[in-house]
Amino acid sequence: MKIVSPICCGIDVHKSFLVATIVSVTKLRTLTYKKERFSTFNKDLLKLKKWLIENNCYDVCMESTGKYWVPVLNVLEPDLHVVIVNPKWVKAVKGNKDDVKDSKWIGELFCFGLVRSSFIPSKDIRILREYTRYRYKLVNMRSSEKNRFQNGFTVCNIALDSVVSDMFGKSASEITNYLLTDENPNAEHCATMLHRSLKKKAVAVVESIEGFQLTEEQKFRMRQVLHHKEYLDLAIELLDTKLESLTKPYTAAIKLLCTIPGLDSDSATTIISEIGTDMSQFDSSKRLCSWAGLTPGNNQSAGKKKSVKITRAGVYIKPMLVQAAHAAVKCTSQPYYKIKYENISRRRGKKRAIIAIARMILTAIYNMFCTGEVFNPSNLKQIDMPEELKQKQLQKNVSNAIALLKKQGILGDDFYAPSCA
């Protein structure tokens, strides 16, 4: 087998300790091993780094076990080439394995180039990713609290959400605060709290509240839910302020991505925090789409396809791209993805079509970061062109083709083509 790394190290990482094995290839193409055990404290990690450099080992491979590999990467990254691999690619056979054998196995696989490196962005992108992922969690928690607050009124025979479109709008908020704070709330009084167009629904609002069954214990719980929701609003606002300062170096990249239909500054920030701006990490756009979990699976055996479902990868970037795809197919000012979606959904269904649009958006992002050009697909004119211009363009293309064939002598001069229209 071809030797890719003559001197390398395989590390089996755990929470409180790690086992490192240096694999060296001699002139006779035999393997020699040096094994050491270190704790995961910074003092011992520096000893690990010194031990590797003393043995002329600058290539390190370890599996991505939870978050335990991050402290090791932080110490070794500046001076050594560190490769993080998916555990499923270096998993040893059960029944004959321990920590020492695992590190030895990882080192041997890396020595012969049998492992594929995972995508690890730079440290500033990793810090930005921590903020965007934390914001994503807070937004989900806020949505859960909104649903919990709304369901609390439903179980108390208050169907206000069936009348108003937003339970947290101005009118609805005044009504819910009145119901939760007043000792003896009156349904008729709620009609005086309506604003603007909701005044036309005063009768329906009163009917949705009449006969409610709201106890003090239920009021207390819903007040707690409302307080938590307000705290989450403040936390998200503070995070947005911090994100503005963190994304200043990427202002040009965010503006570039915002030229794509369906993307705004928030979604562009999330995408940059997940994949960065340096596309040299990925071999091609197909590799990037596969990493994001937007590529159909390839599970075939004995000539039979068992499954073509997309993978579970891209836990954070895939929902964002799908959300952007839903916005893009509804955009009327730039109907490029809208027309693409309609054509695909007729043949493959709406779910597959929206995944296809998400993959198109990610492919466009890859090429835009590589070239620095704004969103301008090669077939944009054919998609957005009015029907009359399409017919004229088609007629022109046919005429040019016929003229070329006549010039080459394939068609005679008396050949006549009917109009495409």
318-362 per-position pLDDT tens digit: 999 999 999 999 988 888 899 999 999 999 999 999 999 999 999
So what's the pLDDT on residue 23? 94
So what's the pLDDT on residue 306? 79
So what's the pLDDT on residue 417? 55
So what's the pLDDT on residue 26? 84
Kindly give, in sequence order, each residue whose CB lies less than 8 Å from that of residue 113, ignoring residues fewer than 6 positions away: 2, 4, 5
Q: Which listed CATH number (1.10.10.60, 1.10.287.4070, 3.30.200.20, 3.40.50.970) goes with 126-246?
A: 1.10.287.4070
Residue 35 has pLDDT above 90, yes or no: yes
Residue 420 has pLDDT above 50, yes or no: no
pLDDT tens for residues 97-144?
888 999 999 999 999 989 888 899 999 999 999 999 999 999 999 999
Angle at CA 179, nearest 5°, toward 178 and 181?
65
Express as a percent the part of the chain with pLDDT over 90.
Answer: 58
* Better-predicted residue by pLDDT, 377 or 120: 120
At residue 24 the predicted structure's pLDDT band, cuts being 50, 70 and 90, is very high
Structure tokens at 129: 């990713």
Mean pLDDT of the region 160-186: 90
CB 120 within 8 A of CB 84: yes
The reply to whether 7-111 and 126-246 are identical in fold is: no
Q: What is the DSSP letter of 312?
A: S
So what's the pLDDT on residue 64? 87
For residues 189 and 197, what is the distance between their CA atoms, to the nearest angstrom?
A: 18
So what's the pLDDT on residue 391? 64
Residue 393 has pLDDT above 70, yes or no: no
| Residue boundaries of the structural domains of the chain | 7-111, 126-246, 251-371, 385-421
Residue 384 has pLDDT above 90, yes or no: no
Minimal CA–CA distance to 136: which of 274, 337, 252? 274
So what's the pLDDT on residue 398? 72
3-state class percentages of the chain: helix first, strand second, coil last, to nearest 5: 55, 10, 35
Structure tokens at 96: 């004959």
Residue 380 has pLDDT above 70, yes or no: no
CB 299 within 8 A of CB 306: yes
Mean pLDDT of the region 360-373: 92
Residue 382 has pLDDT above 70, yes or no: no
The continuous run of DSSP H or E covering 222 comes out as helix 216-246
Mean pLDDT of the region 224-245: 95
So what's the pLDDT on residue 392? 63
So what's the pLDDT on residue 95? 75
At residue 30 the predicted structure's pLDDT band, cuts being 50, 70 and 90, is confident
Type of residue found at 330: K
So what's the pLDDT on residue 186? 87
- Per the listing, tokens 């036309």 go with 200
φ, ψ for residue 414, nearest 5 deg: -90, 5
So what's the pLDDT on residue 388? 61
Mean pLDDT of the region 286-304: 87
59-63 and 7-13 strand pairing: parallel
Express as a percent the part of the chain with pLDDT over 70.
Answer: 93
Q: How many residues does this entry show for the chain? A: 421
Question: What is the average pLDDT score of the chain?
Answer: 88
Kindly give, in sequence order, each residue whose CB lies less than 8 Å from that of residue 45, ignoring residues fewer than 6 positions away: 38, 71, 72, 75, 76
Burial 267-279 (b: 16+ CB within 10 A, else e): bbbbbbbbbbbeb
Kindly give, in sequence order, each residue whose CB lies less than 8 Å from that of residue 168, ignoring residues fewer than 6 positions away: 146
Of 6-10, 14-18, 54-58, 112-116, where does mean pLDDT reach its minimum? 112-116
For residues 325 and 27, what is the distance between their CA atoms, to the nearest angstrom?
A: 56
Residue 390 has pLDDT above 70, yes or no: no
Domain 7-111 is in which class? alpha beta
CB 120 within 8 A of CB 112: no
At residue 376 the predicted structure's pLDDT band, cuts being 50, 70 and 90, is confident
How far the first Cα of the chain sits from its last, in Å, is 63
Minimal CA–CA distance to 62: which of 117, 125, 1? 117
Structure tokens at 270: 């999330």
